[in-house]
Structure 1
């Protein structure tokens, strides 16, 4: 599959990771499902930081993968599905 997928977090001006409710790449079981982008069981501050992250990434053309607040994609099949586009801009290719 083509396209772009990135895992992203937020840090402050000193490089310290901001509170996003759970660590990046935490499983649903480990995080008590706080890894889901719109998890109800995170602090208001973590929710605010997630909104900043979502707004920045969406304005840059990325789509969030809702079960992982840190995972974003662009131009692949998942992105096309979420945007209700008829096809992805990038996709599988045949190698010679």
Structure 2
């Protein structure tokens, strides 16, 4: 199991390196970042990652299609960031933890 603290440190490093593609991160701050899509601005915070990571640890996977169907843009953006972590892999539309 990867602790939230470790995951958040890795996410912060990935964001600082500019390694995330597919979303337009316009600003970063200590507890999150801002995504701009068309005219919409979305604030993603550490707390948003807590919810996502709890689901990931409980189910060992997250389905992008379900997130997209639910229209949860915050979780879709978090998905795009989390898929860059070294202990997560993407298989079709699923993010899975490496055991």
Structure 1 length as normaliser, TM-score?
A: 0.28
With CA pairs under 8 Å and 6+ residues apart, which has the higher RCO, 1 or 2?
1
Structure that is richer in helix per residue: 2
Q: Which has the higher strand share?
A: 2
